[in-house]
């Protein structure tokens, strides 16, 4: 699985390696088929021979966070942060995202490391209200979005309705790349609109093997498929009449999305999706630094920590920082600098994390993700670099909407309580707010969704031996502000000001009304909305 290349590659070699990387995420509502699709991508890239290694979802469903039951999963886990596979000489890094909107901030962090995203929809459900936020987060990144409408083997929205639905709900321009032929229960295949070829599939038992595929011309399809073809042909004519070819620039900036129809469980359309990822998903591009200057990918090594996960493996109780390589060649044992602290850092324990397995990683290139083990000094958003200084912009956070006060129930575990909260805040599990920068005995936890609180309570108990109680508060909105703004806010009766663990002042409001009143009186006070730092 390791890429072999000369030990000191030239800039040209780094560019060449980067060109054969595709780093993407799949975002979807739970149950839309992300696990199944992931496994089928592995089947179609010949990484596995038989699908079915991924355990039934029901037996391991979790309401909190995907990784929490990681130990209970066997076979090929798609719950770890990154799954790396090769296909047609290209290295694919598939980044995992949580499926629940309460964890949108995790998705935002993961997307900071992805160059492209697949939006996976259930044919019967379309864009579910719960998932809208995740898609909005993806859109805010302005990366290419590829839509896969799954489960076309079952009754669902009519494909034309689905196209309208995507447009109206997401405000994206959907352009059908393939078109389904056949009715639910008798799904026969898809037309590739680009080539005009009909891909006729045959099911295999349980979808364990690739679906045998015949390529038919339009004429052959019309002859073979009868009425099913007539319906699809009429719909295609309507689509062609409405124009609708994919504009390359709109695709590149996430304004337009090619739409694929298929059925992951029966392997229909999976190969076409994989080939599209190969041909159209972008390879790593220069990442902009804090000043907006691009860091060319063939410059010396640089990378961004986009996720920190402690205690992933209860046997080791370690802390893994996930680093997306932005430029140059990563080499195990490399001594780099952390731009936040200006301190040197040796990347000694670097792994490729594949499912539950960890493979020692000796080198990596732009687009790759490296798991740095026991990286106590690394935080989400840190930039690491070799030789030539660079600092990437911080990963945005979402404005929290849920606030509780957290109380330690066991006074003897005071230290563990504070250490646990600090650590969870550093990982981005929750925002930790205090009345003053000192040790507030009852800090405030702020979250995008209440499930984040459940994770905090469970992890404090299991990892730090601390039992806590949560008390509701009246706040419903938060905005970031600066030192001057904080002073003005302190004098105001419309808001409270708290101090976030990363040093940011947060203004907390009980309602939109209060926020608007304050803004009316103090229009100059900086109060950033969504995607604040
Ligand atoms: P997730 O990771 O997005 O949560 O979804 P997952 O792949 O676990 O799939 C959720 C359910 O949908 C599974 O059924 C899976 O078999 C089914 N599914 C996935 N793709 C398709 C498809 O193309 N067509 C149809 N008809 N079903 C599909 P389950 O009964 O919950 O679990 P299992 O026991 O079948 O694994």
Mutational pocket test of ligand 1: of 26, 27, 31, the residue with most ligand atoms within 8 Å of the beta carbon? 31
Could you give the C-alpha distances from 299 to 120, 284, 290, 390, in angstroms and in order? 35, 13, 17, 10
31 Cα to the center of ligand 1, angstroms: 6
Could you give the C-alpha distances from 216 to 5, 213, 219, 222, 224, in angstroms and in order? 41, 10, 8, 9, 9
398-532: what CATH class? alpha beta
Cβ(56) – ligand 1 distance below 6 Å: yes
Cβ(263) – ligand 1 distance below 6 Å: yes
Asked if residues 191 and 178 have their Cβ atoms less than 8 Å apart, the reply is yes
Residue pLDDT, tens place only, 57-98:
444 333 233 434 433 332 333 345 788 889 999 999 999 887
Dihedral angle over CA of 498, 108, 364, 42, nearest 10: 150
Cβ(38) – ligand 1 distance below 6 Å: no
Cβ(61) – ligand 1 distance below 6 Å: no
pLDDT at residue number 314: 59
Cβ(36) – ligand 1 distance below 6 Å: yes
- Residue 55 CA, closest ligand 1 atom number: 36
Alpha-carbon span 67 to 312, nearest angstrom: 7
Cβ(150) – ligand 1 distance below 6 Å: yes
Cβ(40) – ligand 1 distance below 6 Å: no
152 Cα to the center of ligand 1, angstroms: 12
Percent composition of the chain: helix, strand, coil (DSSP 3-state, to 5):
30, 30, 40
Alpha-carbon span 513 to 471, nearest angstrom: 23
pLDDT at residue number 219: 92
Task: Write the residue with the smallest CA distance to atom 36 of ligand 1.
Answer: 56
Task: Write the residue with the smallest CA distance to atom 35 of ligand 1.
Answer: 56
pLDDT at residue number 56: 42
Residue pLDDT, tens place only, 159-189:
999 999 999 999 899 999 999 999 878 899 9
Q: Phi, psi at residue 87, to the nearest 5°? A: -155, 130
Alpha-carbon span 81 to 313, nearest angstrom: 13
- Residue 263 CA, closest ligand 1 atom number: 23
Q: Name residues whose C-beta falls within 8 Å of residue 25's C-beta, 6 or more positions apart in sequence.
A: 94, 95, 96, 97, 107, 110, 111, 114, 116, 117, 118
287-385: what CATH class? mainly beta
Alpha-carbon span 444 to 267, nearest angstrom: 47
265 Cα to the center of ligand 1, angstroms: 7
Has residue 445 got a pLDDT over 90?
A: yes
Average pLDDT, the chain: 85
Architecture of the domain delimited by 21-54+64-280: 3-Layer(aba) Sandwich (3.40)
Alpha-carbon span 162 to 178, nearest angstrom: 13
* Cross-strand pairs, 324: 304, 369
CA proximity to 85, closest of 28, 27, 39, 150: 39
Q: Name residues whose C-beta falls within 8 Å of residue 402's C-beta, 6 or more positions apart in sequence.
A: 446, 447, 448, 449, 450, 452, 453
Q: What are the boundaries of each domain within the chain? A: 21-54+64-280, 287-385, 398-532
pLDDT at residue number 358: 59
pLDDT at residue number 263: 96
Has residue 490 got a pLDDT over 70?
A: yes
Mutational pocket test of ligand 1: of 36, 101, 189, the residue with most ligand atoms within 8 Å of the beta carbon? 36
Cβ(28) – ligand 1 distance below 6 Å: yes
Task: Write the residue with the smallest CA distance to atom 17 of ligand 1.
Answer: 33
- Kindly report which listed range (93-107, 174-188, 343-357) carries the lowest average pLDDT score: 343-357
- Kindly report which listed range (72-81, 334-343, 349-358) carries the lowest average pLDDT score: 72-81
Cβ(265) – ligand 1 distance below 6 Å: yes
Dihedral angle over CA of 28, 29, 30, 35, nearest 10: -20
H/E element holding 34?
A: helix 34-44
Q: Name residues whose C-beta falls within 8 Å of residue 12's C-beta, 6 or more positions apart in sequence.
A: 298
Asked if residues 306 and 312 have their Cβ atoms less than 8 Å apart, the reply is no
Residue pLDDT, tens place only, 225-258:
999 999 999 999 998 887 778 999 999 999 999 9
pTM of structure: 0.88
Has residue 498 got a pLDDT over 90?
A: yes
Cβ(57) – ligand 1 distance below 6 Å: yes
Alpha-carbon span 274 to 116, nearest angstrom: 13
* Span between the terminal Cα atoms of the chain, in Å: 37
Q: Name residues whose C-beta falls within 8 Å of residue 41's C-beta, 6 or more positions apart in sequence.
A: 85, 92, 94, 270, 273, 274
């Amino acid at each position: 699985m390791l890429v072999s290349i000369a030990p000191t590659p030239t800039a040209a070699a780094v560019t060449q390696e980067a060109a054969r990387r595709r780093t993407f995420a799949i975002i979807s509502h739970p149950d839309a088929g992300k696990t199944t699709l992931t496994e089928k991508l592995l089947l179609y890239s010949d990484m596995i021979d038989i699908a079915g290694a991924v355990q039934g979802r029901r037996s391991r469903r979790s309401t909190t966070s995907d990784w929490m039951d990681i130990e209970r999963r066997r076979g090929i886990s798609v719950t770890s942060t990154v799954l790396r596979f090769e296909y047609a000489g290209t290295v694919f890094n598939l980044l995992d995202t949580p499926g629940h909107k309460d964890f949108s901030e995790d998705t935002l962090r993961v997307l900071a490391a992805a160059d492209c995203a697949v939006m996976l929809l259930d044919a019967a459900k379309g864009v579910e209200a719960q998932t809208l936020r995740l898609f909005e987060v993806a859109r805010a990144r302005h990366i290419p979005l590829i839509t896969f409408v799954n489960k076309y083997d079952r009754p669902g929205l009519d494909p034309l309705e689905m196209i309208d639905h995507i447009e109206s709900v997401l405000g994206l321009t959907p352009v059908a790349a393939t078109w389904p032929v056949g009715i639910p229960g008798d799904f026969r295949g898809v037309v590739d609109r680009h080539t005009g070829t009909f891909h006729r599939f045959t099911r295999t038992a349980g979808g364990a093997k690739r679906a045998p595929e015949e390529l038919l011309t339009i004429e052959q399809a019309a002859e073979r498929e009868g009425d099913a073809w007539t319906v699809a042909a009429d719909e295609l004519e309507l689509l062609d009449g409405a124009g609708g070819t994919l504009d390359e620039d709109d695709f590149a900036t996430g304004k337009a999305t090619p739409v694929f129809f298929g059925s992951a469980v029966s392997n229909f359309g999976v190969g076409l999706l994989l080939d599209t990822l190969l041909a159209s998903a972008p390879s790593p591009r220069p990442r902009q630094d804090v000043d907006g200057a691009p860091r060319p990918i063939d410059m010396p090594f640089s990378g961004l920590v986009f996720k920190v996960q402690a205690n992933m493996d209860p046997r080791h109780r370690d802390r893994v920082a996930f680093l997306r390589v932005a430029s140059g060649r990563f080499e195990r044992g490399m001594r780099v600098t952390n731009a936040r602290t200006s301190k040197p850092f040796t990347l000694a324990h670097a792994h490729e994390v594949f499912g539950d397995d960890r493979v020692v990683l000796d080198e990596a290139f732009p687009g790759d993700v490296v798991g740095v083990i026991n990286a106590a000094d690394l935080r989400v958003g840190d930039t690491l670099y070799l030789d030539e200084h660079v600092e990437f912009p911080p990963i945005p956070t979402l404005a929290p909407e849920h606030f509780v006060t957290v109380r330690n129930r066991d006074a003897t575990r005071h230290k563990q309580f504070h250490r646990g909260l600090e650590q969870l805040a550093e990982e981005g599990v929750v925002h930790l707010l205090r009345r003053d920068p000192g040790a507030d005995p009852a800090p405030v936890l702020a979250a995008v969704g209440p499930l984040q609180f459940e994770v905090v309570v469970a992890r404090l108990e299991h990892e730090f031996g601390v039992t806590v109680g949560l008390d509701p508060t009246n706040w419903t909105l938060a905005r970031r502000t600066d030192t001057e703004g904080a002073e003005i806010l302190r004098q105001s009766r419309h808001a409270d000001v708290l101090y976030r663990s990363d040093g940011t002042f947060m203004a907390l409001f009980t309602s939109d009304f209060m926020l608007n009143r304050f803004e009316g009186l103090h229009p100059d006070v900086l109060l950033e909305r969504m995607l604040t730092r």
